[in-house]
Amino acid sequence: MTTVTAEILETKDRIMDVAERLFAEDGFKATSLRSITQEAEANLAAVNYHFGTKDNLIIEVIRRKLSLINNERISRLSELQESGTPSVEEILDSFFRPAFEYFQDASQVHFLRLLGRTLHESGDFLHQLMVTDWIPLADAYIEALSRAIPEVSREDILWRFHFTMGAMIFTVSKMDMLEESSCGECQINGDFEPAIQKLIQYTSAGFKN
Amino acid sequence: MTTVTAEILETKDRIMDVAERLFAEDGFKATSLRSITQEAEANLAAVNYHFGTKDNLIIEVIRRKLSLINNERISRLSELQESGTPSVEEILDSFFRPAFEYFQDASQVHFLRLLGRTLHESGDFLHQLMVTDWIPLADAYIEALSRAIPEVSREDILWRFHFTMGAMIFTVSKMDMLEESSCGECQINGDFEPAIQKLIQYTSAGFKN
DNA sequence: ACAAAAATCATACATATGTTTCAAACGCGC
DNA sequence: GCGCGTTTGAAACATATGTATGATTTTTGT
């Protein structure tokens, strides 16, 4: 079956959706295939049928949306570079915004959280993702940033890019922390715009010394 | 036995040391008690005897050093505040430095990595640590930062403190990434001073807009 | 309508896990 | 040396896990 019924999602997609959320909430290792298939109303064997192994499942889960985000990043960065040398703010905007706004559906925040968690785990599957998906992207951005602030040494660019990743990842994966208790003022409510603005303001200031 | 033999560590300490490293390397859930006790040359039952449960083990592992770091932070912050209103740089220095330099032994970087990983996991034990150890500390620092830059709204202070945590955590838990491949220039070699300097420079610039 | 392919299902398998149990060994004060 | 609390030891328990296996149902192409 390759045609999609409008009402009911394919088993494969249901599994990926549930896996995405559960991996994000409880972590990769702590999430059992049984809890995934049960909630997805699929058979346990379905995950091995469609994905082979659990490792392959999370790889496909991450890649299906990360590739969209990263393609959008590259696309926007290229567009910026066509009309001159973009500013640090413009570069960072093209990096942050796709991650936040590509999925306006607030439920998709699970994916961002999963991404953040995964970057802090050291599984073998992560290394594969890094090499194929991350390093080329990072190189393009470091190059662009170097041109935007040539007075900053390449070593410092790398440090600050690293810091910036940390700020962004922590923000997306701990967004619920910001919404609760100690920070009643900063509500998100599915509107990421303030978060993006403040993140750009903070990180661009850090970049420009 | 409560007296410590100079040569040989107590079983309890050996278990904690190994657990700290393995939790940091592979994650909490992925690290089995058997792999810990085997490497610590202890019996499997020893962990349950000394710690009760696995959850309790990681709590004790984290707390034994985090409390030292946090006490040092509070101590340095208080000292700063005794002689006037400290600058953002001084405040952040008192926050970062204890985490990096409290353990000059380079092997203790495992603890920092564990701390970073743990903050991105959502176990029940984490919430307990947050309430008792983290929130009071964060409040003190947010208060100090508010006084250092009164022109910045409290909402922005919270956002920027959040970003700063992300930058720091990602740095300590991914320090090996900085040391390899894409960043041949930035070597650490057990000397955290450059990392601290660059982190302070970056985050203080972000704070001061 | 029918046969081939794709997908689903119940179930089994082998293993790994945290935890418990209870006996043996050990350390120390007397 | 002895007795007692503390610590270690080997093994068992109950359960959870990822994966594999065939049979069965559903879908698809013709």
The rounded distance, in Å, linking the Cα atoms of A100 and A189 is 13
pLDDT at A4: 37
Give A3 CA → D30 C1' in Å.
19
Q: How confident is the model at residue A14 (pLDDT cuts 50, 70, 90)?
A: very high
pLDDT at A3: 40
Distance from CA of B12 to the nearest CA of A (A): 26
How high is the pLDDT of residue B23?
93
Could you identify the residue whose CA is nearest to the C1' atom of nucleotide D10? B43
Instruction: Categorize the per-residue pLDDT at A133 as very low, low, confident or very high, splitting at 50, 70 and 90.
Output: confident
Of all residues in chain A, the one with the smallest CA distance to B200 is A206
Average pLDDT over chain B reads: 85
Name the closest residue (CA) to the C1' of nucleotide C20: B45
The yes-or-no verdict on residue B4 having pLDDT over 80 is: no
Q: What is the pLDDT of residue B1?
A: 40
Is B33's CB less than 7 Å from nucleic acid strand C? yes
Query: pLDDT band at residue A99, thresholds of 50, 70 and 90?
Result: confident
Percent of chain A with pLDDT strictly greater than 70: 84
pLDDT class of A88 with cuts at 50, 70, 90? very high
Write down which residues 35-94 in A have CB closer than 7 A to strand D: 35, 44-45, 47-48, 52-55
User: Position B7: which residue type?
Assistant: E
Nearest Cα residue to A208 out of B200, B206, B199? B206
Asked whether the beta carbons of residue A178 and residue B162 sit closer than 8 angstroms, the reply is yes
Q: Tens digits of per-residue pLDDT, B134-187?
A: 888 999 999 999 999 999 999 999 999 999 999 998 888 777 666 554 455 555
pLDDT (0 to 100) of residue A134: 85
User: For residue B25, which residues of chain A lie inside 8 Å, CB to CB?
Assistant: 122
| Residue of chain A with shortest Cα separation from B156 | A198
* pLDDT at B157 (0 to 100): 96
- Summarize the confidence of residues B113-126 as an average pLDDT: 76
A14 vs A121: which has the higher pLDDT: A14
Residue A5 pLDDT exceeds 60:
no
Between A25-29, A109-113, B33-37, B194-198, the lowest mean confidence (pLDDT) is in A109-113
The reply to whether B50 has its C-beta less than 7 Å from any atom of strand D is: yes
Q: Which of A35-44, B78-87, B107-116 has the lowest mean pLDDT?
A: B107-116
User: Mean pLDDT across the stretch A110-114?
Assistant: 85
Give the pLDDT mean for A73-79. Answer: 96
Interface test with B, best of A32, A129, A170, A178 (most B CBs within 10 A): A170
Residues of chain B contacting residue A126, judged by C-beta atoms under 8 Å apart: none
Residue B6 has pLDDT above 50, yes or no: no
Q: CA distances (Å), A95 to each of A51, A71, A74, B31, in order?
A: 30, 11, 8, 35
User: Distances in Å between the alpha carbon of B197 and those of A105, A159, B53, B100, B190?
Assistant: 40, 11, 40, 11, 15
Say if the Cβ atoms of A165 and B170 lie within 8 Å: yes
Give the Cα-Cα-Cα angle B132, B53, B174 (nearest 5 degrees): 60
Query: What is the pLDDT, as a whole number, of residue A49?
Result: 96
| pTM for the structure as a whole | 0.87
Confidence of residue A92 (pLDDT cuts 50, 70, 90): very high
| pLDDT (0 to 100) of residue B205 | 98
